[in-house]
Structure 1
Amino acid sequence: MAGGSYVLDCEALSRAALGDPQMKALLKDAHRAGVRVVSSSMTLIEAYHGRIRLAEWNWAMSRIATVGLCFPLIEPSLDLTSLSLRRSQLGI
């Protein structure tokens, strides 16, 4: 695998699933070059909407690795009081 990764936000993911030629080309080129393309599981929720056809969504998803959120990585940017509350609500 080549070095580096592409990390897609909800706009880029939505554009890919809507068939935007530039985003589709970027995903194809990354796939050919062995560049890892990732997006977070939360971004998938943000990006999917009613204008996206399932076939296009599935094609985009076949090119992207989905990664979960990791509390140790995001914790410094969150208010610790609200984080503690969320953790207790989630049972973690």
Structure 2
Amino acid sequence: MSIDLEIIFGHNLDIDRIANLLTLLDRYFAPLLKNIQLRLDAERRNLLGIEEDVWQWCYEEKSGESFEEWFETQQSQGYIPINGFAGLMLFVR
């Protein structure tokens, strides 16, 4: 059983900062991941997908579409999706 929690909040990031958001989030969460990992056994950590780079773009390579084209498309649609660990997901607008 899971609970979906949606939180909407404003930000002042321009597109260049959004493009670097994964690096910023990984830096922020890096000290916290050690604490999270200590509380989980190895099998659970693998299931949750806890890695060094926790945040990733929701980009799946498609025939003829580059990451840059995907990023532009997502931006034009109004949001850019990012996956985190343990089912966390961000939609940056």
Asked if Structure 1 and Structure 2 have the same fold, meaning a TM-score greater than 0.5 normalized by the shorter chain, the answer is no
Q: Which has the higher contact order (CA 8 A, sep 6+)?
A: 1
Which has more helix, going by share of residues?
A: 1
TM tier, shorter chain? under 0.3
